[in-house]
Structure 1
Amino acid sequence: MLLAPEQTLFVRGDTPLLLLAGAPVHDALPLVTAPGETLPACEGWSIVPRLTLCVVDGPGDHGVVIPAFTAPVVAAAGSPAADGMAEWCTDVEKAGGAIVLSLDRLPDVIDWSALLAPGAARGGFLPAVS
């Protein structure tokens, strides 16, 4: 299923973040519940980051394709500047994956405590596929 780039936010950092709004895979992703210092890996899910397309692939028929080249890329506090998708893909490669969170709507400000509040999001860490 195709997800419009306006419904995504790619965030650079040591552990890159991909926020999805209104994604058709929302209910298939695990509910984020009181995470510790790191989010658990999403079993059966993976991410394929590419300059032109980003694929979030789940078990069975679950998954989304994002036209990444036109998607917004921002920098998390203390991370490198948000140069663009190529740099985000490099961040994912270095980290071995990305945190993918599905929300009802994209936040105006990236506030980890709000994003990770129980019941606020679904998702977790998705390993990258080369």
Structure 2
Amino acid sequence: MLLDPEKTLFVRGATPVLVLADAPVHLALPPLVAPDGAVPPCEGWSLVPRLTLCVVDGPGDHGCVVPALAAPVLGGADGGAAPSGMADWCLDVERVGGAVVLSLDQLPEVLDWPVLLSSGVARGGFMPALA
């Protein structure tokens, strides 16, 4: 299922993050609670990061496609949503072998990682990247 790019946020960093809002896979993902910051693996799920599309693939028929080139990217030198930001996010994912995927009811106004990882409102985990 195609997810509206306005309901996603790609975040660059030491461990790249993909934040999904109102995603069709939300309830299929495991609850994410990582108060110490150690995000558990998301068993049975994988990520295919590409410049134009990003696929979140789960067990069975669960999964979604994000039109990545149109989605916002935070972090990096440009600090904005330029296409080069998405290319850099993909390189970050390749470097660490995957990304953390957080699914929420709606995108937060502020990315407060300690709250997002300990409140129990997020679902997901670390997903390995497929080549």
Q: Given the two structures, how large is their TM-score scaled by the length of structure 1?
A: 0.92
Task: Show structure 2 runs of 5+ residues with no match.
Answer: none
Task: Show structure 1 runs of 5+ residues with no match.
Answer: none
Q: Which aligned pairs between 1:86-97 and structure 2 lie closer than 5 A?
A: 86-97=87-98
Matching residue of 2:70 = 70
Distance in 1 (alpha carbons) for counterparts of 2:7 and 2:106: 8
- 3-state SS, counterpart of residue 94 of structure 2: helix
Distance in 2 (alpha carbons) for counterparts of 1:121 and 1:91: 22
Matching residue of 1:124 = 125
8 Å CA contact retained: 2:53, 2:69: yes
Q: Given the two structures, how large is their TM-score scaled by the length of structure 2?
A: 0.92
Cα RMSD for the two superposed structures: 1.1
Any runs of at least 4 consecutive aligned residues in structure 1 with deviations exceeding 2 A, and if so which? 33-37, 80-83
| 1:20-46 CA distance string (max 9 Å, x none) | 000000000000124433111111000
- 3-state SS, counterpart of residue 55 of structure 2: strand
Q: Which aligned pairs between 1:42-81 and structure 2 lie closer than 5 A?
A: 42-75=42-75, 80-81=76-77
Aligned length: 126
Q: What is the Cα deviation at residue 120 of structure 1?
A: 1.3
Percent identity for Structure 1 against Structure 2: 67
Distance in 1 (alpha carbons) for counterparts of 2:37 and 2:27: 24
Q: Confirm whether residue 112 of structure 1 aligns to residue 113 of structure 2.
A: yes
8 Å CA contact retained: 2:37, 2:114: no
Distance in 1 (alpha carbons) for counterparts of 2:46 and 2:67: 17
Q: Which aligned pairs between 1:5-84 and structure 2 lie closer than 5 A?
A: 5-75=5-75, 80-81=76-77, 82=79, 83-84=84-85
